[in-house]
Amino acid sequence: MTESRSGHAGLALSPDTSSALRYAAFPTESGGGNPAGVVLDAAAMSAAEMLRIAAEIGYSETAFLEAIGSRDYRVRYFSPQAEVDFCGHATVAAAVALADAELGAGELVLHSNVGEIRVSVASVGERYRATLTTVSPKTAELPAGPLAELLAALDWEAEDLDPDLPIGLAFGGLWHPILWAVTRERLAELEYDFAALTTLMQREGWGTVSLLTRERADLIHSRNAFPIGGVVEDPATGAAAAALGGFLRTNGLLPDGGKFRVLQGEDMGQPCLLDVDASGHGGIRVSGTATRIVADAE
């Protein structure tokens, strides 16, 4: 074994998938979670090598880290098809992987394409739990033209939208359209024009499309279409959950205390639980655990 630049014995890398760990982020108590790849020392890797590894792993995102301080890292995220500026579930997976690899609990600073992401890692029983804080959120109107194209690509009608909740665009590291389905049953029906939605999202610069229903003020069901990443949907999307927190804050829709939970991946058989804290001002906090996928990692 050799010593890597990050100081972790045994983690020096060659640019192949053997350098990658696999973690499931945001699992529920009964399982599930969204798989992410994590490369703990990508200092010697080119962007092309990162993209190739992400494609070979095949998960919606893989995080590539380069140590620039004792608990400071440059992070880049790649889907199987392109670099992604920010990814919440891969951030949580990377933070827990660093904790597992000797760092333990404590504070981390990840320097992403969208800015500084602070992550607090706590020990909870036999697990680590990570809380990321995003860059400052933003919201915007969803113009009528792109909205009409979006509904057409989704095969949704205006009647499929909840008339009591606002639509729009939200940012917590990536931009996401926010659409509320009129019922949970409508949300369960997700069949869309993959090519048309991909083209629209690329043109508009959207990360995922957030499709939602609100069971109550502090519990939201979510599906996130992600064709630009090469997959139909993402089982858990920390960036979208953060963007939603900023959107609810701006629209005065947060529950008392500003905290809520997002259930995602249920209709995929990969249930995921994301805890969101949008209280106060500034960045949104998204929390969850991650577990090592040992069978794939060895």
pLDDT in tens, 264-285: 999 999 999 999 999 999 999 9
Which CATH number does 138-282 carry? 3.10.310.10
Category of 31 on φ-ψ map: left (φ > 0), alpha (ψ -120 to 50) or beta: left
Stretches in the chain below the pLDDT threshold 50:
1-14, 296-298
Confirm whether 17-134+289-297 and 138-282 share one CATH topology: yes
Pairing of strands 106-112, 72-78: parallel
Taking residue 107's Cβ as centre, other Cβ atoms within 10 Å add up to 9
Answer positive or negative: Cα dihedral of 277, 278, 282, 288.
Answer: positive
- Considering the entire predicted model, what is its pTM? 0.91
pLDDT at 294: 80
Domain 17-134+289-297 sits in CATH 3.10.310.10:
yes
For 31-47, the pLDDT digits (tens) are 899 999 999 999 999 99
Question: Among all residues, which ones are annotated catalytic?
Answer: 61
pLDDT at 14: 43
For 132-177, the pLDDT digits (tens) are 999 999 999 999 999 999 999 999 999 999 999 999 999 999 999 9
What does the alpha-carbon distance between residue 176 and residue 146 come to, in Å, rounded to a whole number?
Answer: 12
**What are the residue boundaries of the structural domains of the chain, listed by start?**
17-134+289-297, 138-282
